[in-house]
Copies of this chain bind each other. A is one copy, B any other.
Amino acid sequence: MKVPKISEAVVKRLPVYLRYLNNLKAMNVRTVSSQQLGEALDLNPAQIRKDLACFGEFGRKGIGYEVNYLVEKIKSILKLDQQINVLLVGAGNLGHAISNYNAYLKDNMKIIAVFDADPNKIGKKIANLTIQPLSELKETVKEKSIRIGIIAVPAEAAQSVADCLVDAGITGILNFAPTNLRMPEDVRVHDADVTMELHSLAYYL
């Protein structure tokens, strides 16, 4: 399928649609209108129609969108029809919490390896994964075709961990450390920094 370049805002909304559509699918709901989606997700129905129209003519007037079809389309757009293996660096409280999200990660995406710099943690388990030393990172990325890395280490260690990830061939990073990573242009970094989320929320108070 040919997909045009779409805006970051749309890419961020697609997983929101997908999560809700997956719920509808699980409840055997067959069609949904942009009105219903808008109400459930607190978004403007016109915005939703516009977002989904980026990818072709999904909806039918008076009927709405076919749930199963839309789920498959969004999964394909987000490349979730491929197997995407994820690794996690940092096995502290945050790493534990993140690995718990594995239960919610369907669609061929899974955290399959965990690394930590602390020798005392190596060999222990979180969420059924054995904590490995950073020295094994590069090899594991190749062996297990890992494509995304999650950074859940303190701010001071984040840049050097990110450099290791890039050196191992990772091109997508989800960064929980409250620091700006300097990365090559072909590496995509999403910041999931709690402080920044709270700061942007404050604007709306």
A42 touches B78 (CB 8 A): no
CB nearest neighbor in B for A185: B42
Chain B's nearest CB lies how many Å from the CB of A10?
A: 9
Q: Which one, B148, B155, B180, contacts A40 given CB within 8 A?
A: B180
Interface string of A76-105 (1 = CB under 8 A from B): 011110001010000011101110110011
Nearest-neighbor residue (CB-CB) of A96 within chain B: B93
8 A/B residue pairs, CB under 8 Å, sorted by A:
A12-B196, A19-B178, A19-B179, A19-B180, A80-B199, A101-B195, A107-B199, A192-B192
Q: Are B172 and A205 in contact (CB under 8 A)?
A: yes
A contact residues, total (Cβ < 8 Å): 65
**A156 to B143 Cα, complex, angstroms:** 36
Complex Cα gap A174–B97 (Å): 16
Q: Is there an interface contact between A197 and B192, defined as CB atoms closer than 8 Å? A: yes
Please determine whether B97 and A20 come into contact, CB atoms closer than 8 angstroms: no
With contacts A80-B202, A93-B96, A188-B204 known, is A104 near B195, CB below 8 A? yes
Interface string of A1-18 (1 = CB under 8 A from B): 000000011011011101
A11 CB contact (under 8 Å) in B107, B192, B200 = B200
- A180 touching B101, Cβ below 8 Å: no
Complex contacts, A107 vs chain B, CB 8 Å:
199
**Nearest Cβ distance between residue A175 and chain B, in whole angstroms?**
10
Give residues of chain A (28-78) contacting chain B, Cβ–Cβ below 8 Å.
40-42, 77-78
> Which residue among A86, A183, A199 has the maximum number of chain B CB atoms within 10 Å of its CB?
A199
Cβ B109 vs Cβ A14 within 8 A: no
* Binary CB contact string for chain A from 100 to 119 against chain B (1 if under 8 A, 0 otherwise): 11001101010000000000
List the 7 shortest-distance A-B pairs measured between CB atoms, nearest first.
A94-B97, A15-B199, A15-B196, A93-B96, A93-B97, A188-B204, A101-B194
